[in-house]
Chain A
Amino acid sequence: MTDLSYVRTEMLPERDPPISTSGVIGWIRANLFDGISNSVLTIASLAFIYWVLSHFIPWFWSPTWNGSSLGNCREMIGAAGKEGGACWGVINERWPQILFGFYPEELRWRPILAFVLMFVALIPILFNMISRRWNWFLLALVLFAAVSFVGSGVIAVLVQIVLAVTMAYVGWQIVTTKGADRADQIKAGAKRLPNPLLFSAAFVFIMPWLLWGGTIWTPLAAAFGFGVGWGAFRLVSPKFGDLAGLILGVVTTFVWWLVLTGPVASGLNGVLPVGLEPVQSRNFGGLLLSVTIGVVAISVSLPLGIVLALGRQSDLMLVKWMSVGFIEFIRGVPLITLLFVASFLLNVFMPPGTNFDIILRVIIMATLFSAAYIAEVVRGGLAALPKGQYEAADALGLDYWKAQRLIIMPQALKISIPGIVSTFIGLFKDTTLVSIIGLLDPIGLSNSIRADTAWNGVVWELYGFIAFLFFILTFSMSRYSMYLERRLRTDHR
């Protein structure tokens, strides 16, 4: 029998790992040349990448930026002594069209301003790293720049002065504020600024006004619809319960929008005409059209999808069946069918003479389509939550809506982020399908650009440019979702 007893007399100190497994050389050896098959794969991949780039870069690096037609491009390529190359003249000449479609050139500042303002409006929603002060300062700065760029006359100067004073006031606060968080800052005497989400809410009405123009009273009257709905809710809910109040509030809001907004706005405009030059929907095009459809559909389909997901789990049979029916129907039908319905069939059902904007119809269809997908993604997140979370919320006395808002949804949505963002990226790319019903999104425009005799035959450059534009936007969405997942990671697994 051998002696199995052992006693350690001194504890070992910590040591560095061996050099061959750390540092650059260690990394290369471990990841690229770890054994024969791995080394062969590495060399083959490098050879393939070299082969692709050796064809792509000479094609891409082509001195044709100023070419005026495809023939002209070919002459330039020949003069440079190259055999073939891209014809970038088409992008140089047509990029404003690919971005804006036929939006009047002198009014293009409006969509640009709308999309810059959109980022200011999104900051408090998407990030929590900048303070209220910075947000308001940024907004004033953007508006100041816009007024300086397009405005003239006394009013413009007055507005500029107001904005400059605002910037100085908020800027002074930014410079002088001390303290780590808001509570400290307020204790130290900082002024409490309004929540920037107020602007985000107002932007919902500012954006269509900037894009389509027309009287200012239309967005104001439309915004008032929420007030009407809220009033109806407050009036009804104490007597008949929250659900009845909610239903009636939503119905009143829609009735206000569909029936009363138009007359009220035109009446008010008769009294005090203030507005922007209107732009027709058929002039919308290019990336502007894609982004408009995409942004509106994304921001409306998320809340709608959440409601549908909750409806699908509801104990109320009617609500449940309606949600299931809606989700299954919409998911069972190709988006293109819905777009055809929007384009041709809806007019048949509308009373004669109603002018229901084609872009609005497409947006509604895209929204419903992605809401059905979002509902299923969110349902997956809900299913992944342990039952104990619901029980803990119940046991603390939280009612259904509070439990959903404070406990369930924050966690379910966090789990669903990758799925939600995939759905949104898919939706944004699907906006190119509107070219099939005759709207001039970038793909639709590329067809009409190629119909020009000067550019007949240009394919790669146009599609490549459009792909590049879409890639920038979808890649940002994907990176944002990764940032959000990192920020919300609290489980420390």
Chain B
Amino acid sequence: MSSIEIERDVDTSHMQVSDKVAIEIRNMNKWFGAFHVLRDIDLTVYEGERIVICGPSGSGKSTLIRCINRLEEHQAGSIVVDGTELSSDLKNVDKVRSEVGMVFQHFNLFPHLTVLENLTLAPIWVRKTPRKEAEEIAMHYLEKVKIPEQALKFPGQLSGGQQQRVAIARSLCMKPRIMLFDEPTSALDPEMIKEVLDTMIELAEEGMTMLVVTHEMGFAEKVANRVIFMDAGQIVEQNAPSAFFNNPQSERTKLFLSQIL
């Protein structure tokens, strides 16, 4: 699974973890019907952290990050994002969603809009940015993900890797303070995984707070400051990447690592 080696050097000069709390999850529980999918999750994310969440499928890692922008509702405990508590109050939810960017496994670009329109839609309609300014911001981020020449094409005309980079640019156009990645490379060919990971590394180098659900252990080793291993809906182990990979403590972690490495 961790077939992609990160060959380039990662510039860590701007990767600084501050002591300001970005996300505070306390004793959070979630059920799908009667199925207890997340159990007593406690997690504090500080600004500037790059957290990789791994674990076997069905362990609840995607559900965890989907709770952070309330694509899934939690039933017990609390989630506070950037000082805003997620509750059934829609105003809070909208506020959190415009602060938190999300990248999906299947990109979820809007196929009826051009790449540029995909990028400008939320700034124009949610942030009320004037169209011209929104387009300038969009072109800036398209250049950052290295596909400005595709701006007027439709998503269906791009390769998978290009689509995922557009999706990342689309999130960045909202100037989020936190980025969530839900298996961003799982639907891609090896060549394309590399271009998407490069984009994510650049983002990390600028100091973005990131929570990444991924199986790319190369990325975790080089970029993350913390790796979280989940199983059966709970956090089993978390540590700095070197310690996590070289000296795992729990039996579950050892078994998982032996299977994927």
Task: Please tell me if the beta carbons of B157 and A492 are within 8 angstroms of each other in the complex.
Answer: yes
Chain A residue contacts of B101, Cβ below 8 A: 395
Task: Please tell me if the beta carbons of B111 and A490 are within 8 angstroms of each other in the complex.
Answer: yes
Complexed CA–CA distance, A189 and B241 (Å): 61
Task: Please tell me if the beta carbons of A399 and B94 are within 8 angstroms of each other in the complex.
Answer: yes
- Given A391-B104, A392-B104, A492-B154, A397:B112 Cβ within 8 A: no
Complexed CA–CA distance, A216 and B73 (Å): 56
Q: Is B125 an interface residue (CB 8 A)?
A: yes
Task: Please tell me if the beta carbons of A396 and B104 are within 8 angstroms of each other in the complex.
Answer: no
Chain B residue contacts of A411, Cβ below 8 A: 110-112
Residues of chain B from 165 to 207 with CB closer than 8 A to chain A in the complex: 170-171, 174
Q: Is A402 an interface residue (CB 8 A)?
A: yes
* Residue from B94, B98, B109 within 8 A of A392 (CB atoms): B109
Task: Please tell me if the beta carbons of A488 and B112 are within 8 angstroms of each other in the complex.
Answer: yes
Task: Please tell me if the beta carbons of B154 and A410 are within 8 angstroms of each other in the complex.
Answer: no
Task: Please tell me if the beta carbons of A396 and B121 are within 8 angstroms of each other in the complex.
Answer: yes
Q: Is A3 an interface residue (CB 8 A)?
A: no
- Given A398-B122, A398-B126, A492:B112 Cβ within 8 A: no
Task: Please tell me if the beta carbons of B69 and A392 are within 8 angstroms of each other in the complex.
Answer: no
How many contacts between A and B, using CB within 8 angstroms? 69
Q: Is A178 an interface residue (CB 8 A)?
A: no
* Residue from A394, A399, A414 within 8 A of B71 (CB atoms): A394
Residues of chain B from 82 to 137 with CB closer than 8 A to chain A in the complex: 90, 94, 97-98, 100-102, 104, 106, 108-112, 121-122, 125-126
Chain B residue contacts of A410, Cβ below 8 A: 112
Q: Count of A residues near B, CB < 8 Å?
A: 22
Chain A residue contacts of B102, Cβ below 8 A: 392, 395
Chain A residue contacts of B77, Cβ below 8 A: none
Q: Is A195 an interface residue (CB 8 A)?
A: no
Q: Is A23 an interface residue (CB 8 A)?
A: no
Residues of chain B from 123 to 156 with CB closer than 8 A to chain A in the complex: 125-126, 154, 156
Q: Which residue of B lies closest to A414 (CB)?
A: B112
Q: Which residue of B lies closest to A394 (CB)?
A: B71
B105 to chain A, nearest CB (A): 9
Q: Which residue of B lies closest to A411 (CB)?
A: B112
Chain A residue contacts of B109, Cβ below 8 A: 392
Q: Is A456 an interface residue (CB 8 A)?
A: no
Residues of chain A from 377 to 412 with CB closer than 8 A to chain B in the complex: 386, 388-389, 391-392, 394-399, 402, 406-407, 410-411
Task: Please tell me if the beta carbons of B156 and A493 are within 8 angstroms of each other in the complex.
Answer: yes
* Residue from A392, A394, A399, A492 within 8 A of B110 (CB atoms): A392
Task: Please tell me if the beta carbons of A406 and B98 are within 8 angstroms of each other in the complex.
Answer: no
Mask of A450-493 contacts with B, CB within 8 angstroms, 1/0: 00000000000000000000000000000000000000101111
Task: Please tell me if the beta carbons of A389 and B110 are within 8 angstroms of each other in the complex.
Answer: yes
Task: Please tell me if the beta carbons of B122 and A397 are within 8 angstroms of each other in the complex.
Answer: yes
Task: Please tell me if the beta carbons of B154 and A491 are within 8 angstroms of each other in the complex.
Answer: yes
Task: Please tell me if the beta carbons of B94 and A396 are within 8 angstroms of each other in the complex.
Answer: no
* Residue from B106, B125, B154 within 8 A of A402 (CB atoms): B125
Task: Please tell me if the beta carbons of A392 and B108 are within 8 angstroms of each other in the complex.
Answer: yes
* Residue from A396, A406, A414, A492 within 8 A of B174 (CB atoms): A396
Chain B residue contacts of A488, Cβ below 8 A: 112
Interface of A with B (CB < 8 Å)? 386, 388-389, 391-392, 394-399, 402, 406-407, 410-411, 414, 488, 490-493
Ordered nearest first, which 3 A-B pairs have the shortest CB separation? A397-B98, A392-B108, A388-B108
Inter-chain pairs besides A406-B125, A492-B154, 8 sampled, C-beta below 8 Å: A386-B106, A388-B106, A388-B108, A391-B104, A394-B69, A395-B69, A395-B71, A398-B122
